[in-house]
A and B are shown apart, each in its own frame.
Chain A
């Protein structure tokens, strides 16, 4: 193995310093999209389909335009915008694209689909206007489930997608896998259906757009995780050059993936602003956010696993169907979930034979986007159920069974052609089990008067997907790299751009820590510039736990380059040689003399004639970073203790332990925060949240009364233990830390509930776990 290139010799990386973003957010002085007011600003709302599937016969907006306060109202025909179409480089039998119109043109495909945009002097009048719209539908039979979509003779959501299938890939199919199964000592099968979820950033989506005559630009302020993608799609839809669109991102109240795709409403609102030459704001309300925003996670798994008598896993055979709703999202496409699940399912185990079929089906429901963890919460849950079931069938302790199968020798190249870099798979499991044992949970589990269960989840998570890894997915738009530009100003302060985009992850702090160590300046001398397409060359934004691994590496590389410049100038000014020049205490030491950064900057900007030959004025550098191989794998083991209430079927989480390894933690408190928040979202999926529809495709959870986001009462305290296996090929030794919590929690909770039910003979494999099923299982026993 190569020596890790990370460094932690400085004062900043590894320290839980006060967050730079805290003071403004705590004082109520943050600036979120809805906090922005521009002179003459108007407010948009959308007329939305009330039908799940229908032909649009007529959209009459005359009454709308007569409503007091309404300034304009547009249909698709009025705005005439190009469609949003995301592509994969795959043959037609593997992938069928969908053209998602900004406003529905002749067909509506889900309840809540935008049909017309109303622009008014305030949001109240805009809603008055929306109410006045008259839309005539010719209803078509809706497709409301994955099974319904695949059924013989099912109606088609898109004429071009036979069997309502948008993605259908069969991968790996290790030679002889059928023999492996027919000859195996034990074969277990898991069938699971996971509920549709909403990523649910507390701040809903929104945009403020206005045309600026002086800059000749459409300026768009929006809470997006991917501002450059918004620019590209918006420019294409309205027919402007990229340079005529500037997308900036203010403070953002969470995203979790829902905001890492391009939405239709921000395009429509911007198009209206362009046409009216007045600022237009759109703020999604919660009903729309719950019914018409991008959703995720509705998947069905049929997985068989073959084991030897002594508990060695011999093969995995999986069928995955993901209900992606009405359209492919941009840029990831409807392939996002099935391709993730298919590629990564063997996970932390040494699986010698693997076959998978992954499908995305289209239905008359709101479309889907990546959501924190993307498929991994689901397939990890399924694989961890596989191990629990196999343990029971084989009569081996489930933790022991995992131990026998975990990858322990790294780098390890799996049956899925992925190379795993070193991690602490076994160590994290051991520590997690030991922690729960030492806390006495295993003895409480044997208490006859209580129904207590303990569940584990082992997983790793590929983070830092470089261009190569995304290219394997055959995305036509291939994210991966990051570019950073760094600049030192006159008084020696630093500003640095990143193409990533913090919306809760604390990059203003953690990226500054990285720079601070590289340049030897306090972290509050470093300003992070993010979320502005005019100031950042090109950026992929923040998702897939890529920011610190890739963005942080680019920032580090740019800092090093700037440091080299500073050393060169200082050496020249102090009359020493560059090789002996070192960055120290906010300046450069050459031999026994020292020059502050401010002094060097003074020369670089104000006395350029003193610069060494060949060195231009100014202090700036640019660097980029990409992950060459298969990315880096963070890993963790979660342990969960639940108690069931036989009288109600209620579930209480008594204890939660997370042993995580994300390599070098730049800011341990931030890493813990990511883990805790992620675990809360995983628990939400396991026990509480589901977006359900009735048979007509009407959403059944239009408010927080029905969509049950857990509160502080339901989410337990989480004990976190850290292990550290530094990454060898990111600049800081860091691995991604954004998603892990969400990935492990559903498996840990589900396993714990099933462990508590062990005496009943009942096994529950679907989420969210119905309390009635628990009640019935316990009632019988």
Chain B
């Protein structure tokens, strides 16, 4: 389990990184925390010829509050977010306990999680739940992509190969939001994850489709959390898969949405 050979490039600035990505083309890949990419390279499931290391770029690991908006730099680690005092964005910190384990969280980054686009990854769910915008920089400059349009399929995003994620913008606070999940073993990627925001009445699910899945409410605004959870679960088009039936997955959704509601209500 040793990676295939590659050439190493260290970017010192966003422009420099974009320049390298443009110049090196399809055979280049960004490495940030490496917590997904290096594991895949060790299995030789990923074998980029060029690796562009962005961890030495200054200024990409900041968390800034601007009015109602929270901006989280792409290189911010899960652990930094977990320990940060984020006030009415505290749901982000609380959700980090679900991301792997401490030594993963000290290296893994927000931008890396979003770019990696695992359909159960907490950051992907949170971004969609909280209607975040993903700020990407490419040769043509910066653009902002709404999270709901960003994830196209498992491990597939709207990001161009020569673009870099520089930050996530969360446009409004979420004082009454929560994320919860279930896996047989702690620290694993979730079998099913559920995130809810009471104020926007949004539910986002992981593990029920190729991308974070937004469940559009078919419930009345006064419905109890149990009824909403049931409605959310029933709205899904699920199939039996080896090791897990649609019925069980639906049951997990019902349970987890309800529990997320309870946690969100506690704040």
- A, B co-complexed: yes
In the bound complex, residues from chain A placing their C-beta under 8 Å from that of B256 are: 647-648
Q: Of B12-20, B50-58, B131-139, B183-191, which stretch is located at the interface?
A: B183-191
In the bound complex, residues from chain A placing their C-beta under 8 Å from that of B187 are: 711, 713
Q: Which of A123, A648, A713, A714 contacts B255 (CB 8 A)?
A: A648
The docked-state distance in angstroms from the alpha carbon of A705 to that of B255 is: 24
In the bound complex, residues from chain B placing their C-beta under 8 Å from that of A771 are: 184
- Contact (Cβ within 8 A) A285 B1: yes
Residue A688 is within 8 A (CB to CB) of chain B in the complex = yes
Q: Which of B44, B186, B252, B258 contacts A711 (CB 8 A)?
A: B186
- Contact (Cβ within 8 A) B44 A131: yes
- Contact (Cβ within 8 A) B259 A647: yes
B93 to chain A, nearest CB (A): 20
- Contact (Cβ within 8 A) B186 A714: yes
B233 to chain A, nearest CB (A): 12
Q: Of B26-34, B77-85, B156-164, B243-251, which stretch is located at the interface?
A: B243-251
Q: Identify which of B5, B245, B248 gathers the most chain A CB atoms within 10 Å of its CB.
A: B248
**Chain B, range 218-265, C-beta contacts under 8 Å to A:** 244-245, 247-248, 251-252, 254-256, 258-259
- Contact (Cβ within 8 A) B184 A128: no
Q: Count the A-B residue pairs with Cβ separation under 8 angstroms: how many?
A: 58
The docked-state distance in angstroms from the alpha carbon of A705 to that of B3 is: 19
Residue A439 is within 8 A (CB to CB) of chain B in the complex = no
The docked-state distance in angstroms from the alpha carbon of A779 to that of B247 is: 11
Q: Which of A123, A287, A647, A708 contacts B184 (CB 8 A)?
A: A708
Q: Which of A127, A649, A687, A711 contacts B248 (CB 8 A)?
A: A649
- Contact (Cβ within 8 A) A708 B188: yes
The docked-state distance in angstroms from the alpha carbon of A714 to that of B259 is: 21
In the bound complex, residues from chain B placing their C-beta under 8 Å from that of A708 are: 184-185, 188
In the bound complex, residues from chain B placing their C-beta under 8 Å from that of A127 are: 1-2, 44
**Chain B, range 22-62, C-beta contacts under 8 Å to A:** 43-44
Residue B4 is within 8 A (CB to CB) of chain A in the complex = yes
The docked-state distance in angstroms from the alpha carbon of A233 to that of B194 is: 56
- Contact (Cβ within 8 A) A714 B2: no
Q: Which of B1, B5, B43, B184 contacts A688 (CB 8 A)?
A: B184
The docked-state distance in angstroms from the alpha carbon of A718 to that of B44 is: 41
Residue A650 is within 8 A (CB to CB) of chain B in the complex = yes
A705 with B188, Cβ < 8 A, contacts A128-B5, A772-B244 known = yes
- Chain A's closest residue to B185 (CB) is A708
- Chain B's closest residue to A772 (CB) is B248
Q: Identify which of B5, B185, B188, B254 gathers the most chain A CB atoms within 10 Å of its CB.
A: B185
- Chain B's closest residue to A45 (CB) is B2
- Contact (Cβ within 8 A) B2 A779: no
- Contact (Cβ within 8 A) A703 B244: no
B170 to chain A, nearest CB (A): 29
- Chain A's closest residue to B186 (CB) is A713
In the bound complex, residues from chain B placing their C-beta under 8 Å from that of A714 are: 185-186
In the bound complex, residues from chain B placing their C-beta under 8 Å from that of A650 are: 182, 184
Residue A775 is within 8 A (CB to CB) of chain B in the complex = yes
- Contact (Cβ within 8 A) B251 A128: no
Q: Identify which of B44, B251, B258 gathers the most chain A CB atoms within 10 Å of its CB.
A: B251
B45 to chain A, nearest CB (A): 10
- Contact (Cβ within 8 A) B1 A286: yes
Q: Report the count of interface residues on B (CB-CB < 8 A).
A: 25
- Contact (Cβ within 8 A) A647 B255: yes
B142 to chain A, nearest CB (A): 35
In the bound complex, residues from chain B placing their C-beta under 8 Å from that of A473 are: none
- Contact (Cβ within 8 A) B43 A775: no
- Interface code A556-596, partner B: CB below 8 Å = 1, 0 otherwise? 00000000000000000000000000000000000000000
- Chain A's closest residue to B192 (CB) is A648
The docked-state distance in angstroms from the alpha carbon of A713 to that of B4 is: 35
- Chain B's closest residue to A771 (CB) is B184
B50 to chain A, nearest CB (A): 17
The docked-state distance in angstroms from the alpha carbon of A472 to that of B258 is: 60
**Chain A, range 233-287, C-beta contacts under 8 Å to B:** 285-287
Residue A14 is within 8 A (CB to CB) of chain B in the complex = no
Q: Identify which of B184, B189, B252, B254 gathers the most chain A CB atoms within 10 Å of its CB.
A: B184
Residue A124 is within 8 A (CB to CB) of chain B in the complex = yes
- Chain B's closest residue to A694 (CB) is B242
- Chain A's closest residue to B47 (CB) is A131
In the bound complex, residues from chain A placing their C-beta under 8 Å from that of B189 are: 705
The docked-state distance in angstroms from the alpha carbon of A710 to that of B184 is: 9
Residue A445 is within 8 A (CB to CB) of chain B in the complex = no
- Contact (Cβ within 8 A) A779 B1: no
Q: Which of B2, B5, B252 contacts A648 (CB 8 A)?
A: B252
Residue A776 is within 8 A (CB to CB) of chain B in the complex = yes
Q: Which of A124, A687, A688 contacts B2 (CB 8 A)?
A: A124
Q: Identify which of B2, B245, B258 gathers the most chain A CB atoms within 10 Å of its CB.
A: B2
In the bound complex, residues from chain B placing their C-beta under 8 Å from that of A648 are: 182, 251-252, 255-256
A704 to chain B, nearest CB (A): 10
A711 with B245, Cβ < 8 A, contacts A123-B2, A647-B259, A648-B252 known = no
In the bound complex, residues from chain B placing their C-beta under 8 Å from that of A286 are: 1
A214 to chain B, nearest CB (A): 34
B48 to chain A, nearest CB (A): 16
- Chain A's closest residue to B181 (CB) is A648
The docked-state distance in angstroms from the alpha carbon of A647 to that of B248 is: 10
Question: What are 13 A-B interface contacts by the 8 Å CB criterion?
Answer: A128-B5, A287-B43, A647-B252, A647-B256, A647-B258, A648-B182, A648-B255, A649-B248, A650-B184, A708-B185, A710-B185, A711-B187, A776-B248
Further pairs besides A124-B2, A708-B185, A776-B247: 12, Cβ < 8 Å: A127-B2, A128-B5, A287-B1, A647-B254, A647-B256, A647-B259, A648-B252, A648-B255, A649-B248, A713-B186, A714-B186, A775-B248
Q: Which residues of A contact B (CB under 8 A)?
A: 123-124, 127-128, 131, 285-287, 647-650, 687-688, 703, 705, 708, 710-711, 713-714, 771-772, 775-776, 779
5 shortest interchain CB distances as A-B pairs: A647-B255, A713-B186, A285-B1, A772-B248, A124-B2
